[in-house]
Structure 1
Amino acid sequence: MDAAEARDFLREHHRAVVATFRADGRPHLSPVLAGVDEKGRVIISSTEDRVKVRNLRRDPRIAVCVFAEGFFGPWLQVEGDAEVVSLPEAMEPLVDYYRRIAGEHPDWDEYRAAMKRERRVLIRFEIARAIG
């Protein structure tokens, strides 16, 4: 599978498990919703205090396994080196993330306030490798 095929799959399927690396080298896994931004990067929303964010700030290596709604069936794994974008720079990318995953929000002011309150960040990365 190539990166273009992976991006196409990610535009339709958002349920995923992200893997980052702890300081001792062991993997840390967590469920997320993933999408693709206008530049073809994988995008994930998280908060400043999450283990995956701390791990990525220390070691940017990331792997994401994305699967279809029914779990069994088509899947893919994408890998790369992640960038963590914090607020305030993350605000408009977080709005874009929401639109790509869920469509229009009923109250964008409320959404933006929640992003600030929750200390949201955007994790993004170029696909260096795709399998599935």
Structure 2
Amino acid sequence: MHYSPLELWLLIGLLALVTLGARSFFVLLPRRWQPRGRVEQALRHAPLVALLAITVPEVTRQLPAAWQQPQPLWAVATDARLLSALVLVAVVRATRSTLWGLLAGIGTFLLAGPLRP
């Protein structure tokens, strides 16, 4: 499909409006219609759950193939994605700092990348 520049800008603008409306839906509701109780607590965890839904399949994608290798433990232990995810979780739990966890996970990913043949 080919769109003209005007159509592209219109499409981008409409997508931005839909995104803004979806993200601010609960803010724009009258006070008496806003979620309370368990729904409100569940909505606080929605961004984390969305992030996990994106990252967990990517981190664990190579595990079934790794277990089929001649040395499965080495294949799993040298998977840079899995190692960096485990380091990230450990550092966040130990320091209670997301920033340090992210930096440790990125560093581990960059250092462990060359381990894979």
Could you state the TM-score of these two structures normalised by the residue count of structure 1? Answer: 0.22
Could you state the TM-score of these two structures normalised by the residue count of structure 2? Answer: 0.24
Quick one: higher RCO (CA 8 Å, sep 6+), 1 or 2?
A: 1
Greater fraction helix? 2
Q: Which has the larger radius of gyration?
A: 2
